[in-house]
Chains A and B, each alone.
Chain A
Amino acid sequence: MSDEVRRLSEELARDPGSLVFLQLGETLRRRGQLDLALRVSLRGLERHSTNGDAHDLVARIRADRGELDRALEAWDAVLRLVPTHLGALKGKGFVLYTQGRWQEAERVLLEAAARDGGDASIAAALAHVRREADQAGASGTDDTDDASRGSPAEEARTLFAEALGDGEMTALLIDADGLVMAGVYPTADGDDVSQEIGAELCGVSDEVQRAMRHLALGRWTRIAFETDAATVAMAPAPEGGLVLVAADPALPHGLVRRVLDRCGDRAAAWLETAGARS
């Protein structure tokens, strides 16, 4: 048992009526201990049946367990209690998307976007839903309602969404001058700090290039560094650019490396297409 889980468990044991079960359940969920997380959250829900966050926690655990219909029920319960609950709107949108219910997913995600227009993950999810809806020929929405749909800017922002999947990762394509060409780097508050991150981190690759020349190690293929807040992996992109993936430090490094490779392929294909268009 980790120190964090032990501390929260002890706190909950001391005060079973407290809301600390939310933290404990979430911590267990993130650690993949889904059965225990569900038990803790359902027990908490018994005492706090009108707490939207408690239903939201249950929903997320259900979703992680693949119990999508029950996750939807829990998110509906959240929205009955708190109609503006952003997490519930996003979660419900994701499940509907997973179930191929494109129009419903789009409606819910649009509602989420209206609540928080700066949330890059919502924009990315919306782009996904619309792309899938187009491919399936199932979308009945009017394209002219949303000027940003399919625009080059939107395409660039969501370039890596598919390669990143649902993991806690983000990716950027940075040009030789340190300017971000594609991708987003959202903070927990929903702000996009990609330009700042790109400008700061691209200097590392310049340094590596110089070192590899002096040490006769050939071309550099990847750099990865681990920090308190993230694992950052970078690889060279065409035209002197750089692909950067930042991931939750808890994610396996091998997975980050695979995602970096996928993003690199995606970036190369996108640059080629963009070159052909221009």
Chain B
Amino acid sequence: MTGPYQGALASVARQRGILGAMVVDANDDIIVDAAVRHGVKAPTVAALAASIYRKARQSAGAAGLGDTTFLRMEAEQGHIFAAGRGALVLIALAESTVNVGLVRLAMLQAASGLP
């Protein structure tokens, strides 16, 4: 692990149940840096999750709710988390058994440290 965002990624990826964490450019959904387990389709996860985060931001802004800081999606077989900072979005893919509270804290902390 040598990338510039590995500190932030590692703090999220070390949480139990996390399958992968990535820093994504919020404008074009391209991965800036990632730490993912083998088999995770990182570009697909990044593109879809960043797109959802962008949509949530736009919708919340249009609805007068202000800026979106954190997003969580729960599905039958897993979770996706996203936390934004400026032009970057920190994204994590997790198993359904993950501790949501711990991941949320780790994500917010890691996102606040993104340059």
A interface with B by C-beta (< 8 Å): 193, 196-197, 200-201, 203-204, 207-208, 210-212, 214-230, 232, 246, 253
Is A211 within 8 A of B59, CB to CB? no
- Bound together, the chains give a CA A49 to CA B56 distance in angstroms of 48
Q: Is residue B87 contacting chain A, with contact meaning CB distance below 8 A?
A: no
Q: Is residue B44 contacting chain A, with contact meaning CB distance below 8 A?
A: yes
Q: Min CB distance, A229 to chain B, in Å?
A: 5
Is A218 within 8 A of B77, CB to CB? yes
20 pairs, A vs B, C-beta closer than 8 Å: A196-B63, A197-B63, A204-B55, A204-B59, A207-B55, A214-B48, A215-B80, A216-B77, A217-B75, A217-B78, A224-B72, A225-B56, A227-B66, A227-B67, A227-B69, A228-B66, A228-B67, A246-B65, A253-B101, A253-B104
Chain B residues contacting A207 (CB-CB under 8 Å) are 51-52, 55
Chain B residues contacting A200 (CB-CB under 8 Å) are 59-60, 62-63
Is A214 within 8 A of B44, CB to CB? yes
Is A220 within 8 A of B75, CB to CB? yes
**A207-B55, A215-B48 known; A223+B67 contact, CB < 8 A:** no
B interface with A by C-beta (< 8 Å): 41, 44-45, 48-49, 51-52, 55-56, 59-60, 62-78, 80, 93, 101, 104
Is A223 within 8 A of B62, CB to CB? no
Extra inter-chain contacts (12) besides given A203-B59, A215-B41, A229-B65, CB under 8 Å: A193-B63, A200-B62, A204-B56, A215-B44, A217-B75, A222-B74, A225-B60, A226-B71, A228-B65, A228-B69, A229-B64, A253-B104
Task: Find the residue from B44, B48, B73, B76 having the highest chain A CB count within 10 A.
Answer: B73
- Bound together, the chains give a CA A222 to CA B51 distance in angstroms of 17
**A204-B59, A211-B80, A215-B44 known; A225+B67 contact, CB < 8 A:** no
**A207-B51, A232-B60 known; A223+B74 contact, CB < 8 A:** yes
Chain A residues contacting B48 (CB-CB under 8 Å) are 210-211, 214-215
- Bound together, the chains give a CA A201 to CA B51 distance in angstroms of 14
Q: Min CB distance, B79 to chain A, in Å?
A: 8
Give 5 nearest A-B pairs by CB, closest first. A228-B66, A218-B76, A211-B48, A217-B75, A227-B65
- Bound together, the chains give a CA A223 to CA B75 distance in angstroms of 9
